Structure 1
Amino acid sequence: MRKILIVGAGQAGLQLALGLQSNGYDVTVMTNRTADEVRDGRVLSTQCMFDTALGLERKLGLNFWEEAAPKVEGLGVSVSGPESQRVIDWVGRLDGHAQSVDQRIKMAGWMEAFEQRGGKLVIHGVAVSDLDYFSRSHDLILVAAGKGELVSMFGRDAARSPYETPQRALAVSYVHGLGPRPEHDFQAVRCNLVPGVGELFMIPALTGTGPCDIMFWEGIPGGPVDVFGEVKDPAEHLKLTLDLMKTYTPWEYERTLGGVELTDAGATLAGRYAPVVRNPIGELPGGGLVLGVADVVVANDPITGQGSNNAAKCAAVYLEAILAHGDRPFDRAFMQDAFDRYWDDAQHVTKWTNAMLAPPPEHVLNLIGAAGQLAPVAHRFANGFDNPADFEQWFYEPEKAGAYLSSITG
């Protein structure tokens, strides 16, 4: 039986571990927190998983919360004008529903399932020297922990990483009590673009205390939304979030007037990081090799909501590659090939995300505006979140955008 070590217990690490486990592999997962510590800790992300990624979980029987989580059936965009009025507002229907499950309950639940099924879950921080030791007793080591010392083993791929500094300051609040958007009677992610300021995302979700909403500011560094860095008190964090909504997105602020409150004591998160693509293979001091997973090797800004989706797709690609490899050594060629298969999909996410971080060119503004008048355009935008490769056909180049709009308007 082949022995595999996975460092990190997030979406990709645990999905891959559970998939390998179900196929008879001897799998060990190492992480620095217990399931209870994850469940009772601070929120981890703003995850919203679209239909393709959710299907990968269903395939492995890991969709434990699908019936309880709100079904997100649409995705809408609003653009703020100079007087904080909506100059553009539309919503597109998703072909397959999306869902957001608080990673605290999801990762804790998956950790417990992994152990209950006989997996070895080791609660311990991991250093490069530890991996050197474990490389002598395991056939393959995968690093799925996207922070800390281990990431330094994977060098930055400058050709695929146009940004060297964070492009947004991030501030997250999970809340109960948010009112519905009156424009539609179904659940939808709402993306509010405030030119020169940043973006506000509103995401229906499930947390440990039941259905909730995520209010997520992405502020341009140094701008008026970049004010959360020194805030430690969750109540102050929420107040700042609401004050900024009142100023820049009053139509979303109106949804809070019935009274919103944080879902729990750990319901806020703030931070920033530079988007980066890294080389997928890490070299250990003793000569062994390790393979980077998901945001260890492709870390995009969350502006396009792709982090958990990327992680699920990476885990699925790596699982397929490992199963197909049989008893052959997991050498450098295997690792590079597995990453290249993942990059075939992830490159489209990276290109789209990096484009959305920059000020939009005129043809993109025209597309966003057209979606407010033409339902097929809104539909295509919304479903691009599930299949970002589609943007290649109509989004990036003015000529393709013009041809697409002409085909719609006749």
Structure 2
Amino acid sequence: MRRILIVGAGQSGLQLALGLQAKGYDVTVMTNRTPEEIRTGRVMSTQIMFRTALRYERELGLNFWEALAPRVEGLGLSVAGTLPGVPGVQRLIDWVGRLEGPAQSVDQRVKMAGWLDTFAERGGRIVLHCATVSDLDFLAHRYDLVLVAAGKGELVSLFPRDPARSPYDTPQRSLALAYVHGLGPRAEHPEYDAARCNLVPGAGELWVIPTLTTSGRADILFWEGMPGGPLDVFQHVDGPGEHLARTLELLERYAPWEYGRATAVELTDAHATLAGRYTPTVRDPVGRLPSGGLALGVGDAVVVNDPLTGQGSNSAAKCAASYLASIIERGDEPFDADWMRMAFERYWASARHVTRWTNAMLGSPARHVRSLIAAAGGLQHVADRFANGYDDPADFEDYFFDATKAEAFVAEATAVGVVG
């Protein structure tokens, strides 16, 4: 039985651990928190998982909350701006695309605590320890494969930044989220749940995501502000109450159509807010330990994109699924550096589309992209295809990046009369 050590207990680490465990591998997970500490701690992220990522969980029998989480059947996009003679900020563009399969969001405090409990119940070994490079150096020879699925801390230094795949060297957004109860229904299509991305040109974005948290149904209000801009106001907040107050002040000023739903919201719990920033980065997947051992980076440890496009948990799930297949196919052969690079490149074949699309959205959208987003407001087929690209970002290669292809796609949608 091959012995595998996974450091990190997030989406990618635990999904991979449970998948390997089900295939008969001897798996150890090293994490710095118990399930109860995770469950009662601070929120760790936003997340919305689309059809493909959810299918990977379902195939492993890990979809424990599927019947409890809100069924997100649509994905909407709005663009804020002003109109001559009209006071205040308006929605210049507004549409909702229907998803081909429902998405869902489960608070990672719920999911990771539950998955850790499941891993232990199935005989997995959990080591409670905040791992360092020297720890891995000492332990590496005891395992056939060491995987690092921790996207923060000292261990990330094992994986050098890949400058050819990392156009940014500073954070591109200041991030601030709050989990709330009491958000009212959407005015448009209230008969089904939809996640909303509101673009505020020159300032940032607001996501509104239906979710399942420790206290049941909730919604996530998630601001992404350009550093130094008017949405970047969460660095020195005095507690969760002030964080929520600033969140609502920004809603009232920059997305009043969302503020109208939020006048009665309250935080889901005392740990329901989070703020920070990080740099989108792609790293070399092979980490070399001081004594010559190797570690393979997983998920955010090697590919971390800005959450603007809602891909974090999806990418983590896809990475875990790809690595699981590569490990099983390796059989009894050694997990050497060549195999590690091959396993990563197999994952990168799909991950590269996420990185390219997310980096494009972080910048100032090209004219044809603005036209494409505007066209979706009147062409339901365009809105639906754009929305479903969040599940399969590779589809954007066919029409998003090239002006000629974008124009041809809109012209075709217009010609067949698919009008929303």
Corresponding residue for 1:242? 248
Give the match for residue 287 of structure 2: 282
Structure 1 unmatched runs, 5+: none
Cα-Cα RMSD: 0.6
Any idea what the Cα deviations from partners look like across 1:286-305, whole Å, max 9, x if unmatched? 00110000111000000000
Q: Secondary structure at the match of 1:115?
A: helix
Scaled by the length of structure 2, what TM-score is found?
0.97
User: What is the match of residue 338 of structure 1?
Assistant: 343
Q: Distance in 2 between matches of 1:23 and 1:78?
A: 45
Q: CA-to-partner distance for each residue in 1:43-86, whole Å, 9 max, x for gaps?
A: 00101000000000000000000000000000001111124101
Given residue 213 of structure 2, which amino acid in structure 1 is its aligned partner?
A: T
- For 2:166 and 2:192, the matched residues in 1 are separated by 37
- Determine if the alignment matches structure 1 residue 222 to structure 2 residue 224: no
Q: Structure 2 residue aligned with 1:406, among 407, 411, 420?
A: 411
Distance in 1 separating the partners of 2:135 and 2:77: 47
1:206 equivalent among 196, 212, 219: 212
Whole-Å separation in 2 of the counterparts to 1:127 and 1:247: 45
CA-CA distance at 1:361 after TM superposition:
1.1
Separation (CA, whole Å) in 2 of partners of 1:306 and 1:232: 30
Query: Matched residues in 2 for 1:226 and 1:373: separation?
Result: 33
Instruction: Tell me whether 1:190 sits opposite 2:196 in the alignment.
Output: yes
* Aligned-partner SS, 2:6: strand
Shift of 1:400: 0.7
**3-state SS of 1:206 partner:** strand
Q: Tell which deviates more after alignment, 223-232 or 94-103.
A: 223-232
CA distance in structure 1 between the aligned counterparts of 2:158 and 2:61, rounded to whole angstroms = 33
Q: Describe the superposition over 1:270-326 as per-residue Cα deviations: whole angstroms up to 9, x where unpaired.
A: 000010000000000000110000111000000000000000000000000111100
Q: Any idea what the Cα deviations from partners look like across 1:310-367, whole Å, max 9, x if unmatched?
A: 0000000000011110000000111001000000010000000000000111100100
Secondary structure in structure 1 of the residue aligned to 2:244: helix
CA distance in 1, matches of 2:35, 2:319: 23
Query: What is aligned with 2:85?
Result: none
Matched residue, 2:110: 105
Cα deviations across residues 60-115 of structure 1 (Å, max 9, x unaligned)? 00000000000000000111112410110100000000000000010000000000
Match status 1:161 vs 2:192: no
Q: Distance in 1 between matches of 2:114 and 2:2?
A: 25
Partner of 2:76: 76
Gaps of 5+ in 2: 83-87, 416-420
1:393 to 383, 390, 398: 398
How far apart, in 1, do the equivalents of 2:130 and 2:169 lie?
A: 28
Number of residue-to-residue matches in the alignment: 409
1:373-392 alignment runs, 5 A limit: 373-392=378-397
Could you tell me which residue of structure 2 aligns to residue 33 of structure 1?
33
Q: 1:52: which partner in 2?
A: 52
Deviation at 1:135, TM superposition (A): 1.0
Tell me which amino acid in the other structure corresponds to 1:12: S
1:24 aligns with 2:29: no
Deviation, structure 1 residue 236: 0.2
The CA distance in 2 between the partners of 1:374 and 1:306, in whole Å, is 25
Q: 1:254 aligns with which of 225, 250, 260?
A: 260
Query: How far apart are residue 232 of structure 1 and its match?
Result: 3.8
Aligned mates of 2:164, 2:211 — CA distance in 1: 36
Counterpart mapping for 1:254-403 below 5 A? 254-257=260-263, 259-403=264-408
2:145 alignment partner AA = L
Instruction: For residues 24-47 of structure 1, give each alpha carbon's deviation from its aligned partner in whole angstroms, at most 9, with x where no partner exists.
Output: 100000011111111111000101
Q: Residue in 2 aligned with 1:8?
A: 8
Identity %, equivalent residues: 66
Helix, strand or coil at the partner of 2:167: coil
Instruction: Report matched runs for 1:113-132 at 5 Å.
Output: 113-132=118-137
Which amino acid in the other structure matches residue 6 of structure 2? I
Q: TM-score w.r.t. structure 1 length?
A: 0.99
Give the Cα–Cα distance (whole angstroms) in 2 for the partners of residues 57 and 219 of structure 1.
32
Q: Secondary structure at the match of 1:395?
A: coil
Partner SS, residue 28 of structure 1? strand
In the aligned structure 2, how far is the partner of 1:151 from the partner of 1:70?
34
Tell me, in whole angstroms, the C-alpha distance in 1 between the residues paired with 2:292 and 2:175: 38
